[in-house]
Amino acid sequence: MTSPATTPLRPPVAVHLGEAGAPRTACVLAPVMARWDRGAFFEPVAEALVTTGHRVTVYDTLSLLRDGDDLAALADRWAQVLRAEEPDVLVGNALGGAVVQRLLDRPWTHRADVVLLSSPTVADEVLDATLERIAAAVAERGTTAALDLLHEVVRGPADPAPVPAPAGPRDTPDSERDGADDPLYGWRLATGLRLLHRADVRSQVEAFPGRLLHVYGNESNLVGRQHLATGLGHRSVGIAGAGMRPHADRPEATRRAVAAFLAPQQKKRIHDQ
Protein backbone atom coordinates (compact mmCIF):
# COMPACT_ATOMS: atom_id res chain seq x y z
CA MET A 1 0.00 0.00 0.00
CA THR A 2 1.17 3.55 -0.66
CA SER A 3 1.75 6.02 2.13
CA PRO A 4 3.09 9.53 2.61
CA ALA A 5 6.09 8.11 4.44
CA THR A 6 8.63 9.27 1.88
CA THR A 7 7.25 12.79 1.45
CA PRO A 8 8.44 15.78 3.51
CA LEU A 9 6.51 16.29 6.72
CA ARG A 10 3.67 18.68 5.98
CA PRO A 11 1.68 20.86 8.38
CA PRO A 12 -1.15 18.95 10.03
CA VAL A 13 -4.54 18.92 8.34
CA ALA A 14 -7.13 20.83 10.37
CA VAL A 15 -10.36 22.80 10.38
CA HIS A 16 -11.22 25.72 12.66
CA LEU A 17 -14.50 26.37 14.47
CA GLY A 18 -15.63 29.34 16.53
CA GLU A 19 -14.49 32.95 16.65
CA ALA A 20 -10.85 33.66 15.83
CA GLY A 21 -10.60 35.97 18.86
CA ALA A 22 -12.23 33.62 21.36
CA PRO A 23 -10.63 33.85 24.81
CA ARG A 24 -9.93 30.10 25.12
CA THR A 25 -8.51 27.53 22.71
CA ALA A 26 -9.37 23.87 22.23
CA CYS A 27 -7.45 21.32 20.17
CA VAL A 28 -9.19 18.14 19.01
CA LEU A 29 -7.49 14.99 17.68
CA ALA A 30 -9.68 12.83 15.44
CA PRO A 31 -10.19 9.06 15.43
CA VAL A 32 -8.84 6.76 12.72
CA MET A 33 -10.52 7.65 9.45
CA ALA A 34 -9.79 6.14 6.09
CA ARG A 35 -10.76 9.47 4.58
CA TRP A 36 -10.65 12.75 6.52
CA ASP A 37 -14.16 14.13 7.05
CA ARG A 38 -13.08 17.74 7.72
CA GLY A 39 -14.11 17.54 11.35
CA ALA A 40 -17.72 16.47 10.74
CA PHE A 41 -17.40 13.75 13.39
CA PHE A 42 -17.00 16.45 16.05
CA GLU A 43 -19.96 18.62 15.08
CA PRO A 44 -22.31 17.12 17.73
CA VAL A 45 -19.86 18.16 20.49
CA ALA A 46 -18.42 21.34 19.04
CA GLU A 47 -21.27 23.51 20.31
CA ALA A 48 -20.34 22.74 23.92
CA LEU A 49 -16.94 24.32 23.28
CA VAL A 50 -17.78 27.11 20.84
CA THR A 51 -20.61 28.49 22.99
CA THR A 52 -18.33 28.57 26.03
CA GLY A 53 -15.82 30.84 24.34
CA HIS A 54 -13.41 28.43 22.68
CA ARG A 55 -11.67 28.68 19.35
CA VAL A 56 -11.65 25.02 18.28
CA THR A 57 -9.09 23.42 15.97
CA VAL A 58 -10.00 19.91 14.84
CA TYR A 59 -6.99 17.97 13.56
CA ASP A 60 -6.75 14.92 11.33
CA THR A 61 -4.61 12.78 13.66
CA LEU A 62 -3.36 10.63 10.78
CA SER A 63 -2.11 13.64 8.81
CA LEU A 64 1.20 13.38 10.74
CA LEU A 65 1.42 9.57 10.53
CA ARG A 66 4.46 7.96 8.91
CA ASP A 67 5.36 4.33 8.19
CA GLY A 68 7.13 2.76 11.16
CA ASP A 69 5.36 4.92 13.74
CA ASP A 70 4.13 3.50 17.00
CA LEU A 71 1.82 5.40 19.34
CA ALA A 72 4.74 7.06 21.12
CA ALA A 73 6.32 8.28 17.86
CA LEU A 74 3.06 9.74 16.59
CA ALA A 75 2.44 11.39 19.95
CA ASP A 76 5.92 12.94 19.93
CA ARG A 77 5.19 14.46 16.53
CA TRP A 78 1.87 15.86 17.73
CA ALA A 79 3.52 17.27 20.85
CA GLN A 80 5.45 19.71 18.67
CA VAL A 81 2.21 21.00 17.16
CA LEU A 82 0.01 21.09 20.25
CA ARG A 83 2.58 22.62 22.58
CA ALA A 84 2.79 25.66 20.31
CA GLU A 85 -1.01 26.02 20.50
CA GLU A 86 -1.01 26.24 24.33
CA PRO A 87 -4.55 24.76 24.42
CA ASP A 88 -6.93 25.39 27.28
CA VAL A 89 -8.77 22.18 26.36
CA LEU A 90 -7.35 19.01 24.80
CA VAL A 91 -9.91 16.68 23.22
CA GLY A 92 -9.31 13.26 21.69
CA ASN A 93 -11.60 10.71 20.10
CA ALA A 94 -10.53 7.03 19.96
CA LEU A 95 -6.96 7.00 18.54
CA GLY A 96 -6.82 10.77 18.92
CA GLY A 97 -7.62 10.34 22.60
CA ALA A 98 -4.92 7.71 23.01
CA VAL A 99 -2.42 10.21 21.56
CA VAL A 100 -3.65 12.89 23.98
CA GLN A 101 -3.30 10.51 26.93
CA ARG A 102 0.23 9.61 25.84
CA LEU A 103 1.12 13.31 26.20
CA LEU A 104 -0.22 13.84 29.70
CA ASP A 105 3.18 13.47 31.37
CA ARG A 106 4.33 16.62 29.58
CA PRO A 107 4.18 19.67 31.89
CA TRP A 108 2.63 21.91 29.21
CA THR A 109 -0.50 19.72 29.17
CA HIS A 110 -1.13 20.20 32.89
CA ARG A 111 -2.86 23.56 32.40
CA ALA A 112 -5.43 22.04 30.01
CA ASP A 113 -8.78 20.43 30.66
CA VAL A 114 -8.85 17.02 28.95
CA VAL A 115 -11.94 15.50 27.30
CA LEU A 116 -11.68 11.96 25.94
CA LEU A 117 -14.38 10.40 23.75
CA SER A 118 -14.27 6.59 23.66
CA SER A 119 -10.48 6.79 24.00
CA PRO A 120 -8.71 3.68 25.29
CA THR A 121 -6.13 4.09 28.01
CA VAL A 122 -5.19 0.42 27.78
CA ALA A 123 -5.89 -2.11 25.03
CA ASP A 124 -6.75 -5.62 26.19
CA GLU A 125 -6.58 -8.81 24.12
CA VAL A 126 -10.17 -8.45 22.94
CA LEU A 127 -9.67 -4.90 21.69
CA ASP A 128 -6.37 -5.83 20.03
CA ALA A 129 -7.94 -8.81 18.26
CA THR A 130 -10.91 -6.80 17.03
CA LEU A 131 -8.79 -3.98 15.63
CA GLU A 132 -6.39 -6.42 13.98
CA ARG A 133 -9.26 -8.27 12.31
CA ILE A 134 -10.37 -4.99 10.73
CA ALA A 135 -6.84 -3.88 9.81
CA ALA A 136 -6.02 -7.25 8.23
CA ALA A 137 -9.19 -7.10 6.14
CA VAL A 138 -7.77 -4.15 4.19
CA ALA A 139 -5.18 -6.38 2.51
CA GLU A 140 -7.31 -9.52 2.49
CA ARG A 141 -10.65 -8.16 1.31
CA GLY A 142 -10.22 -4.48 0.47
CA THR A 143 -10.84 -1.21 2.25
CA THR A 144 -14.58 -1.21 1.65
CA ALA A 145 -14.98 -4.58 3.39
CA ALA A 146 -12.75 -3.41 6.25
CA LEU A 147 -14.90 -0.30 6.68
CA ASP A 148 -17.98 -2.54 6.88
CA LEU A 149 -16.31 -4.48 9.69
CA LEU A 150 -15.42 -1.24 11.46
CA HIS A 151 -18.99 0.00 11.22
CA GLU A 152 -20.19 -3.29 12.65
CA VAL A 153 -18.30 -2.69 15.91
CA VAL A 154 -18.70 1.09 16.24
CA ARG A 155 -22.37 1.42 15.27
CA GLY A 156 -24.82 2.43 17.94
CA PRO A 157 -27.63 0.24 19.28
CA ALA A 158 -30.15 1.89 16.96
CA ASP A 159 -27.98 1.73 13.81
CA PRO A 160 -28.70 -0.83 11.10
CA ALA A 161 -26.17 -3.56 10.49
CA PRO A 162 -23.80 -2.75 7.61
CA VAL A 163 -24.56 -4.10 4.16
CA PRO A 164 -21.65 -6.40 3.23
CA ALA A 165 -19.49 -5.26 0.36
CA PRO A 166 -20.34 -7.24 -2.76
CA ALA A 167 -17.84 -9.88 -3.83
CA GLY A 168 -16.32 -9.63 -7.29
CA PRO A 169 -16.93 -6.99 -9.94
CA ARG A 170 -20.02 -4.80 -9.72
CA ASP A 171 -22.28 -4.07 -12.66
CA THR A 172 -23.06 -0.59 -11.39
CA PRO A 173 -20.09 1.35 -9.99
CA ASP A 174 -20.66 3.09 -6.70
CA SER A 175 -18.40 6.12 -6.47
CA GLU A 176 -18.24 6.12 -2.69
CA ARG A 177 -17.25 2.46 -2.44
CA ASP A 178 -14.86 2.72 -5.39
CA GLY A 179 -13.17 5.70 -3.78
CA ALA A 180 -12.81 3.87 -0.48
CA ASP A 181 -10.41 1.41 -2.10
CA ASP A 182 -7.87 4.12 -2.86
CA PRO A 183 -4.60 2.62 -1.50
CA LEU A 184 -3.98 5.66 0.68
CA TYR A 185 -7.31 5.16 2.46
CA GLY A 186 -6.47 1.53 3.13
CA TRP A 187 -3.06 2.50 4.47
CA ARG A 188 -4.58 5.08 6.80
CA LEU A 189 -7.15 2.64 8.13
CA ALA A 190 -4.89 -0.36 8.70
CA THR A 191 -1.87 1.56 9.99
CA GLY A 192 -3.98 3.81 12.21
CA LEU A 193 -5.84 0.94 13.88
CA ARG A 194 -2.62 -0.97 14.54
CA LEU A 195 -1.19 1.97 16.51
CA LEU A 196 -3.48 0.94 19.38
CA HIS A 197 -2.01 -2.58 19.60
CA ARG A 198 -1.00 -3.20 23.22
CA ALA A 199 -1.50 0.49 24.00
CA ASP A 200 -1.03 1.26 27.69
CA VAL A 201 -0.85 4.87 28.89
CA ARG A 202 -2.17 4.27 32.39
CA SER A 203 0.89 5.78 34.06
CA GLN A 204 0.47 9.08 32.19
CA VAL A 205 -3.25 9.28 32.94
CA GLU A 206 -3.17 8.23 36.57
CA ALA A 207 -0.47 10.80 37.37
CA PHE A 208 -2.06 13.64 35.41
CA PRO A 209 -2.72 16.48 37.89
CA GLY A 210 -5.27 18.35 35.79
CA ARG A 211 -8.97 17.95 35.11
CA LEU A 212 -9.93 14.99 32.91
CA LEU A 213 -13.21 13.56 31.62
CA HIS A 214 -13.77 10.21 29.89
CA VAL A 215 -17.03 9.90 27.91
CA TYR A 216 -17.96 6.49 26.52
CA GLY A 217 -21.01 4.58 25.34
CA ASN A 218 -22.49 2.10 27.81
CA GLU A 219 -23.30 -0.24 24.91
CA SER A 220 -20.03 0.11 23.02
CA ASN A 221 -18.77 -3.02 21.29
CA LEU A 222 -15.24 -1.65 21.05
CA VAL A 223 -13.95 0.71 23.77
CA GLY A 224 -15.72 0.34 27.11
CA ARG A 225 -15.18 1.27 30.74
CA GLN A 226 -12.69 -1.59 31.16
CA HIS A 227 -10.33 0.16 28.73
CA LEU A 228 -10.24 3.46 30.65
CA ALA A 229 -8.15 4.65 33.57
CA THR A 230 -8.50 7.73 35.74
CA GLY A 231 -6.51 9.50 38.38
CA LEU A 232 -7.34 11.61 41.42
CA GLY A 233 -10.22 13.97 40.67
CA HIS A 234 -10.85 12.65 37.17
CA ARG A 235 -14.32 11.69 35.95
CA SER A 236 -15.86 9.14 33.60
CA VAL A 237 -19.38 9.31 32.21
CA GLY A 238 -21.12 6.42 30.48
CA ILE A 239 -23.78 7.50 27.98
CA ALA A 240 -26.85 5.24 28.09
CA GLY A 241 -28.06 3.89 24.76
CA ALA A 242 -24.80 4.77 23.00
CA GLY A 243 -22.14 2.67 21.32
CA MET A 244 -18.57 3.55 20.38
CA ARG A 245 -19.67 6.97 19.10
CA PRO A 246 -21.74 8.49 21.92
CA HIS A 247 -21.46 11.93 20.31
CA ALA A 248 -23.27 10.55 17.25
CA ASP A 249 -25.66 8.14 19.00
CA ARG A 250 -26.70 10.43 21.85
CA PRO A 251 -25.43 13.90 20.91
CA GLU A 252 -27.45 15.89 23.44
CA ALA A 253 -26.44 13.68 26.37
CA THR A 254 -22.80 13.85 25.27
CA ARG A 255 -22.93 17.65 24.88
CA ARG A 256 -24.41 17.96 28.37
CA ALA A 257 -21.65 15.82 29.86
CA VAL A 258 -18.93 17.87 28.19
CA ALA A 259 -20.60 21.21 29.00
CA ALA A 260 -21.02 20.25 32.67
CA PHE A 261 -17.34 19.32 32.85
CA LEU A 262 -16.26 22.62 31.30
CA ALA A 263 -18.67 24.77 33.33
CA PRO A 264 -16.41 25.32 36.40
CA GLN A 265 -13.60 26.62 34.19
CA GLN A 266 -15.99 28.83 32.23
CA LYS A 267 -17.23 30.41 35.48
CA LYS A 268 -13.62 30.92 36.57
CA ARG A 269 -12.77 32.66 33.29
CA ILE A 270 -15.72 35.05 33.65
CA HIS A 271 -14.79 35.80 37.28
CA ASP A 272 -11.17 36.55 36.31
CA GLN A 273 -12.09 39.07 33.61
Last residue of a domain, one of 193, 219, 239: 193
If pLDDT is split at 50, 70 and 90, which confidence band does 170 have? very low
What is the predicted pLDDT for the residue at 168?
Answer: 40
> Do 206 and 105 share a domain, yes or no?
yes
Q: What span, in angstroms and rounded, lies between the C-alpha atoms of 187 and 32? A: 11
Residue 160: pLDDT band (50, 70, 90) is confident
Q: Which residues contact 54 (CB under 8 A, 6 or more apart)?
A: 18, 22, 24, 25, 26, 88, 89
Query: What is the distance between the alpha carbons of residues 22 and 76, in angstroms, rounded to a whole number?
Result: 28
Domain limit, last residue, from 144, 178, 193: 193
pLDDT value, residue 159: 81
Q: Which of 193, 211, 238 finishes a domain?
A: 193
Region 226-244 average pLDDT: 97
Looking at the fold, whether 224 and 119 belong to one and the same domain comes out as: yes
d(CA 41, CA 36): 10
Asked if 66 and 154 sit in the same domain, the reply is no
Number of domains in the chain: 2
Least confident residue range of 153-167, 179-193, 215-229, 242-256: 153-167
Domain with 206 in it: what CATH number? Answer: 3.40.50.1820
Element (H, E) at 44: helix 43-50
Nearest-angstrom CA–CA distance, 56 and 47: 10
Instruction: Calculate Rg over the CA atoms of the chain.
Output: 18
Do 185 and 224 lie in a common domain? no
Whether 114 and 231 map to the same domain: the answer is yes
| 182 or 268: which leads in pLDDT | 182
pLDDT at position 265: 59
pLDDT digits (tens, 9 = 90+) for 13-40: 999 999 999 999 999 999 999 999 999 9
**Does residue 5 surpass a pLDDT of 80?**
no
Q: pLDDT category, 164, cuts 50, 70, 90?
A: low
Buried b (16+ CB within 10 A) or exposed e, 12-47: bbbbebbeeebebbbbbbbbbbbbbeebebbebbbb
At residue 3 the predicted structure's pLDDT band, cuts being 50, 70 and 90, is: low
- Domain hosting residue 207, numbered range: 4-123+200-272
pLDDT surpassing 60 at residue 268: no
Record the pTM.
0.89
Res. 162 pLDDT band, cuts 50 70 90: low
Task: Give yes or no for residue 84 having a pLDDT over 60.
Answer: yes
